Amino acid sequence: MTVHLGYATRDFHCLLDGDLYLPEASWSQDRTRCRAAGIPDDVVYRPKWRIALELVERSRTEGVPMQYATADEAYGRVREFRETLAKLGLTYVVEIPSTITGWTRQPEVEPVGTVTSSGRVLTQPRLAFGQKAARSVSKLWYRGGPPWVKYKIKTTDKGPVVWEARETSFFANDDGVPGQEERLLILREVLTGEVKYFLSNGIGSDFPLGTLLFVAFSRWHIERLFEDGKGEVGFDHFEVRCYRSLMRHLALTTLSLYFLCEQVHSLGGKKVGVDTTPSETSGGSPIGPGDVAA
C-alpha cells in the first residue's frame, strides 16, 4: 500500500511523489518478513498522515511551490496533520468526518494551576463550569444556523454541479478543551443531498469561500489521475512483494503518467487542468487560487 502526493494548477495536474505505507502489526513488527521482502530496517510503520507530510516537505525542499493543501477525512481528522500544514505555511482545506466535535464559539477554559473549589490544583486545562459541551459538526444546528449559499462547482456533460455551502468559526475538541480557531465549511450537494464537512485555516477576507471550495474540490482531479494511471500506465499492475521492485514500479509509473499528462497538455489535447474557482450561482468572476497539493 502506498501514499501519494498530487499537484494541481490552473492548467495542469500530476502525481508528484509517493512512498510505501508499512502496516504496523502484520509487517513493521515482523522484521524477518520485512527482510525477506527486501525492506530496509529503517523503513518502519508511519501513519499515513505522517507519510503525507513527509512527501509535502520533500517536494517543497526540492523547490515545488505550494500554496494550498487538501486531503480526505482520514488525514483531515488528525489535528497534528492540520497544524503541521499550517506551520509549513500552507492554507489547508481538508475533509473531516461528521463525528468531529467542537464549538462554534470559544468556551472559557480553566488553565493549568487553577485551584478548584475542592482545593485541587489543575495539572491539565479543562472547560470552565457551566460551559456547553462539544458537539459533533453534524449536530451543530437543529434549526437555523448560517445561511446556505449555492455555488456552481463545475460544468459537466450532464450540466452544472451545484453545492450549497454554509460556514462558521470552529474550535475543534482537543482532549476536552478547544483547539485553535478554524473555519468549518458544511457543503451539501443540491441534487443528491450528500453532505461533506471541511476544516480550513484560511480565515479572513484574504480567503474567499469560493477559493476554499476550489481547493476542496480539487481532489477530484487527483482521483482522476489514479484512474488514468491504472488505465494507461499500469499503475496497479504490481503483484510482487519485493521492496526494490515496488519502488521502481512506483517511480516509473508516476514518471510515465507525468509524461502523458505533459504531452496531452503541450499538444493542446483534452484539458488536464483544474476548473475555475466555484462561483455563486448568481454570478461572479472566478479567479484560480494557485497551486494545490492533495
In the chain, where the domains are located? 66-220+265-293
Burial category of 263 from C-beta neighbours within 10 Å (exposed 0-12, middle 13-18, buried 19 and up): exposed
> CA triplet 280, 282, 283: central angle to 5 degrees?
75
Backbone angles phi, psi at 159, to 5 degrees: 115, -175
Range 244-254 average pLDDT:
87
**Over 90: is that where the pLDDT of 267 sits?**
no
Contacts of 23 (CB under 8 A, 6+ apart): 1, 45
pTM of the model: 0.85
Range 158-174 average pLDDT:
92
Min mean pLDDT across 143-152, 251-260, 272-281 is at: 272-281
**Over 90: is that where the pLDDT of 16 sits?**
no
**Over 80: is that where the pLDDT of 268 sits?**
no
What is the distance between the alpha carbons of residues 69 and 174, in angstroms, rounded to a whole number?
22
- Which pLDDT belongs to residue 100? 96
Backbone angles phi, psi at 49, to 5 degrees: -65, -30
Range 37-45 average pLDDT:
92
Confidence tier at 293 by pLDDT (50, 70, 90): low
Q: Which residue has the higher pLDDT, 62 or 154?
A: 62
Confidence tier at 227 by pLDDT (50, 70, 90): confident
Min mean pLDDT across 95-104, 194-203, 258-267 is at: 258-267
What is the distance between the alpha carbons of residues 8 and 273, in angstroms, rounded to a whole number?
7
Taking CA atoms, 98 is separated from 107, 179, 198, 243, in Å, by: 21, 17, 9, 37
Range 64-81 average pLDDT:
93
**Over 90: is that where the pLDDT of 50 sits?**
yes
**Over 50: is that where the pLDDT of 282 sits?**
no
Q: Tens digits of per-residue pLDDT, 134-144?
A: 999 999 987 78
How much of the chain, in percent, has pLDDT values that exceed 70? 91
The C-alpha cell 454570478 sits at 283
